Amino acid sequence: MVLYKQKKTWDPKGNRILINITVLGSAGPIRFVVNEEELVPSVIETSLKAYAREGRRPVLGSDINDFFLFCPSASSDALNPWETIGSRGARNFILCKKPRREKLEGDGKPSEAVTRKGSGNWKAWINKSLNLKISSQ
């Protein structure tokens, strides 16, 4: 006699929807299924995990507080963190990184390390970062 395992019946706690999230600067949207009652930060976290798992570029990071989620068809404002993903009735969203604030030095001016973009040599960077003196011979 062969025993069959009974399949588990899927018992959703709300409607599940397929959403498309386009990451600003990436090639194409990320698609996954979420519960309509899921909050925006949870959707951002799932998006970032899927983005990283797929090995997409540019690398975004994993801090959900660094991102906004927009619903382009509903309004130009970012979704609030306490909103549910299904509250706008949309299925397409845009994920954008928040603008970085410049760190200020003691005199109130932006620090050079934050505003400068990768020009210079590695010895100067190490000297400045670690306060070491590396001779160039």
pTM of the model: 0.64
Q: What is the number of structural domains in the chain?
A: 2
Tokens standing for residue 19:
């959403």
Alpha-carbon dihedral angle through residues 65, 92, 12, 39, given to the nearest 10 degrees: 20
> 1-5, 54-58, 75-79, 104-108: which has the minimum mean pLDDT?
1-5
What's the pLDDT at 6?
47
State the pLDDT at residue 64. 94
Residues 107 and 93 in one domain: no
Which strands sit side by side in the sheet containing 67-70, from one edge to the other? 30-35, 16-23, 92-97, 67-70
Q: Both 106 and 136 in a single domain? A: yes
Same domain for 121 and 71 = no
Instruction: Quote the CA–CA distance of 47 and 52 in Å, as a whole number.
Output: 9
Alpha-carbon span 62 to 46, nearest angstrom = 10
Q: Same structural domain for residues 90 and 127?
A: no
pLDDT band of residue 8 (cuts 50, 70, 90) is: very low
Query: Dihedral (C-alpha) 84, 87, 88, 93: value to the nearest 10 degrees?
Result: 20
Nearest one of 69, 78, 8, 73 to 34, comparing CA atoms:
69
Tell me the pLDDT band of 27, cut-offs 50, 70 and 90. Answer: confident
Q: What pLDDT shows up at residue 35?
A: 96
Residue 90 has pLDDT above 70, yes or no: yes
- Domain of residue 30, residue span: 16-97
Same domain, 81 and 131: no
Q: Give the residue-averaged pLDDT of 56-62.
A: 89
